[in-house]
Structure 1
Amino acid sequence: MYKILIVEDETSIASTLKNHIEKYGYECHIVEDFEKILDIFQEIEPHLVIMDINLPAFDGYYWSRKIRQVSTCPIMILSARMSEIDQVYGIENGADDFITKPFVMDVVLAKINGQIRRIYGEYAKDTKSRILKKGNTALNLDTVRLSTSIEEEVLTVKELQLCNMLFEAFPNVVSRQQLLAAIWDEEAFVEENTLTVNIKRLRNKLETIHSSLEVKTIRGIGYQLMEKNK
């Protein structure tokens, strides 16, 4: 399920967006602490952000720039002011599209669907999907999905990066240091259990799709993707 982060300080608008968008199969999260937007973004790892401009403390342009430092996920600016200058400034600060207040929900949904298809789905830049296959399991790097013939799961950005490294190294062991250095900014503070939590989520998704693969913990070294019972 694709995740959408809604950054809007008017609770009625945020709730309206969430309630309508979730009817169409998306998982929505509303920001409540507007001083920790980047932290919340990195915790949730959404596939798309709806960003209001007029926010407490720092405006949406500021937070768009912050998000762009760590992610390329689509950002849709939400604002009552959308002059040509505003749109140019939005693009320069990382925006991919714009929603003008007052908005029509069907238009908002169409814009969301378009961005999701463009970045993760049928309109992705590479017409030939980049798919890695091991055992009965496929990792589609373009649609951000892990699947078998039985079921599929949408991955978060971190899960996708971890899974990609493990698939590429299969069946060799990848050290914790390699995973941390490749996926998290080495200058940023990473809690000791952050990698462990993300590996656990990946394991759960492998189980959910009935994968023949499992992620083994190699104590004191790292992790190994391998076929079960081998």
Structure 2
Amino acid sequence: MYKIYIIEDDPNISKIIVEHLTKYQFECYTVQQFNHIVEEFQAIQPHLVVMDINLPTYDGYFWSRKIRQLSKCPIIIVSARVNDIDQVHGIENGADDFITKPFSLDVLMAKVNGLIRRTYGEYASSESNSISIANTTLNSDTVRLYTEKHESLLTLKEMQLSKLLFEAYPNVVPRQKLLSAIWDDESFVEENTLSVNIGRLRKKFETIQSRLEIKTIRGLGYQLVEAEE
């Protein structure tokens, strides 16, 4: 299920967007603290962001730039600003699309689906970017981990962690390398953040019945290994 992070300060508009997207099987999250959007983004690891421009503290342009420094996650700006310069400014600051208020929920839905398909699905890069080890394949174009009969959609952080582990196989990936490669600003990372993400990724390996497992190498980092029969 794809995750949508909604950054909107009007609770009525936010509620309408959530209710509509949820009907189409999207997992929606709304902003809780407007001065901690980056931290919330990293905790949620969404597949797409819906962003207003006029927000408390800093505007949507500021937060789009911050998110774009961390991720290629698609961003749709939804705003009452209708000038061409506002739309240009939004795109220049990292947004992928711009919708003016009042807007049609059907148009929003079409744009969300279009960006999801282009980024993760059937219209993603035609050049396969996959790595296979044992019975398991990681495809970073579609952000999926799969075996012959099972597959799991990864969050962006899980995909980045998986890619580092797959590319290093069978060597150990130092903990610091994982942190520095995934989080540009480590001041946002709590001590157990990496461990929590590794734990979630381990469960997904189990869910797809992978023969691979992530082994903790104390004092060093993590290693992808093939489980013994």
The TM-score normalised by the length of structure 1 is 0.94
- Which aligned runs of 4 or more in structure 1 are off by greater than 6 angstroms? none
SS of residue matched to 2:81: coil
1:27-46 correspondence runs (5 A): 27-46=27-46
Would the aligned equivalents of 1:9 and 1:32 in 2 still touch at CA under 8 Å?
Answer: no
Match of 2:217 in 1: 218
Structure 2 residue identity aligned to 1:79: S
Structure 1 residue identity aligned to 2:48: L
**Partner Cα distance (1:223, 1:134) in 2:** 16
CA shift digits 1:6-41 (9 cap, x unpaired): 001111111111111122221110002111111111
The TM-score normalised by the length of structure 2 is 0.94
% identity of equivalent residues: 63
Aligned length: 229
**Partner Cα distance (1:85, 1:186) in 2:** 30
User: Is 1:140 equivalent to 2:139 in the alignment?
Assistant: yes
Q: Give ranges in structure 2 of 5+ residues lacking alignment.
A: none
Q: What is the deviation of 1:50?
A: 0.3
Relative to structure 1, is the Cα distance of residues 187 and 175 closer, same or farther in structure 2, using a 3 angstrom cutoff? Answer: closer
Q: Give ranges in structure 1 of 5+ residues lacking alignment.
A: none
**Partner Cα distance (2:88, 2:214) in 1:** 45
What CA RMSD, in Å, does the superposition of the two structures yield over aligned residues?
1.5
Match of 2:75 in 1: 75
Q: What is the deviation of 1:181?
A: 2.5
Q: What is the deviation of 1:187?
A: 5.3
User: Is 1:131 equivalent to 2:130 in the alignment?
Assistant: yes
CA shift digits 1:168-226 (9 cap, x unpaired): 11122222122223222265353221111111010011111111111111222211111
SS of residue matched to 2:16: helix
1:53-202 correspondence runs (5 A): 53-124=53-124, 126-185=125-184, 188-202=187-201
Q: What is the deviation of 1:62?
A: 1.6
Would the aligned equivalents of 1:49 and 1:75 in 2 still touch at CA under 8 Å?
Answer: yes
Structure 1 residue identity aligned to 2:194: L
CA shift digits 1:92-115 (9 cap, x unpaired): 211110122111111111100111
Q: What is the deviation of 1:122?
A: 2.2
